Amino acid sequence: MKKDRAATESKIYESFLSLLEEKGPQAVGINAIAKKAGVSKELIYRYFGGLQGLLLQLAKKGDFFKTLLTLQNNDLETVESVKDFAKSGTKELRENKLTQEILRWQLLENNDATRDLFKFSNQQIDKVFSISDKDSSLNHALQLMIGGYVYLTLLSKFNKTFITTDLSSQDSWDNFDKALEKTIDLFNK
């Protein structure tokens, strides 16, 4: 039997990530992770300090919101740049399943184990989305719409429609993008 701690740690961490990504927060447990990694769960406690440690590791590595953070460098002075930013942001959100599951998780609980992870991911969100505008109404309108985007994205995992909108159709998301752009325009007129 070969022994390779680095490889084992990697197997555990990757199993944890893919489990979260594929099956959501509810499916993430010590037993499930150990089984998926093909390893004794004792090692998860020994190497990571249990589930809490794995979440902390995820927080530190922070391999979510990457794309959004690179966009952060863009100046957001012109209306066009804000619109571009919004469009990239919504796309990133729809494509990044791991981020989605972390956001879903935040709607379920907030305890010692998850606190660090959420704290970090929220810092990321703050960095990206803190668009301080003179017009506080625009700020709140944008925050509502961003929240709406998150909500509809999470909802689309289990629901085909929201009110009259088909969440499985790319057209719908294009329309949401357009509505978002138009709102930005209207507030800037």
Partner DNA sequence: GCAACATGTAACCATGTGGTCACATATATT
Partner DNA sequence: AATATATGTGACCACATGGTTACATGTTGC
Residues forming the site for its own copies (CB under 8 A): 24, 26, 104, 106-110, 118, 122, 125-126, 129-130, 132, 136-141, 143-152, 154-155, 157-159, 161-165, 175-176, 178-180, 182-183, 186-187, 189
- Residue 18 burial by CB count (10 A; 0-12/13-18/19+): exposed, middle or buried? middle
Q: How far apart are CA 56 and CA 88, in angstroms?
A: 28
> Looking at beta carbons only, is 43 or 138 nearer to DNA?
43
- Residue 104 burial by CB count (10 A; 0-12/13-18/19+): exposed, middle or buried? middle
In angstroms, give the least distance from the CB of 188 to its own copies.
10
- Residue 44 burial by CB count (10 A; 0-12/13-18/19+): exposed, middle or buried? buried
Residue count (the chain): 189
Residue 112 engages DNA in binding (rule: CB under 7 A): no
Residue 14 engages DNA in binding (rule: CB under 7 A): no
In angstroms, give the least distance from the CB of 28 to DNA.
7
144 binds, among DNA, its own copies, none (CB under 5 to 8 A by kind): its own copies
Q: Which residues pair with 161 in a beta bridge?
A: 166
Residue 7 engages DNA in binding (rule: CB under 7 A): yes
> Looking at beta carbons only, is 16 or 65 nearer to DNA?
16
150 binds, among its own copies, DNA, none (CB under 5 to 8 A by kind): its own copies
DSSP states of 90-104: HHHHHH-HHHHHHHH
Residue 22 engages DNA in binding (rule: CB under 7 A): no
Contact 168, 160 (CB under 8 A): yes
Contact 46, 106 (CB under 8 A): no
Pick the piece of the chain touching DNA (CB under 7 A) from 29-37, 87-95, 103-111, 144-152. 29-37
Residue 50 engages DNA in binding (rule: CB under 7 A): yes
Pick the piece of the chain touching DNA (CB under 7 A) from 44-52, 64-72, 102-110, 123-131. 44-52
CB pairs under 8 A, 24+ apart, for 132-140?
A: 135/187, 137/187, 138/184, 138/187, 138/188
Instruction: Name the site residues for DNA (rule: CB under 7 A).
Output: 1-5, 7-8, 29-32, 38-43, 45, 50-51
